[in-house]
Amino acid sequence: MLEFEIFPADAAALLREKKVRLIDVREPWELATASVAGAMAMPMGDVPARAHQELDPDEHLVVLCHAGVRSLNVTVWLRNQGFEQAQSIRGGIDAWSREVDASVPRY
C-alpha cells in the first residue's frame, strides 16, 4: 500500500508522466492566488458529495492544499471510502512552490 503522503518532487514527476490525477482541495480564492496546472479543483467541503461521482477508486490520486493538513485529512477520508491509491502532497502548495516550481506564488 502507498504511503499516505508523497513528497512534492515525487508527485511532480508522476504528474509529468501522467501517472496521477492531482486534486486541489483548497478554496476558490486560494486557487485564484496560486495553482498547479492541470489540477482538478474540488474544495474540501465538496469532496464527500463529489468523490464517488467524479473520481475513480482505482486511480492514483494526489491531493493538494496549502500546507498539507487539509489534503491529508481528505486523503484519509478517501482511503476510508475505498480510494486506496490516494496520497497527500507533504507540505502542500507551499512546499510545491519552494521545491518544485518557484513561479507558483506563496501566500
Q: Are 62 and 15 in contact (CB under 8 A)?
A: yes
| Residue 20: partners with Cβ closer than 8 Å, 6 or more residues away | 11, 14, 59, 60, 61, 62
Q: Which of 39, 55, 64, 65 is catalytic?
A: 65
Q: Which of these, 58, 52, 54, 77, lies nearest to 19 by C-alpha position?
A: 58
**Distance between CA atoms of 22 and 88, rounded to whole angstroms?**
10
Q: Is 2 a catalytic residue?
A: no
Catalytic residue ranges: 65
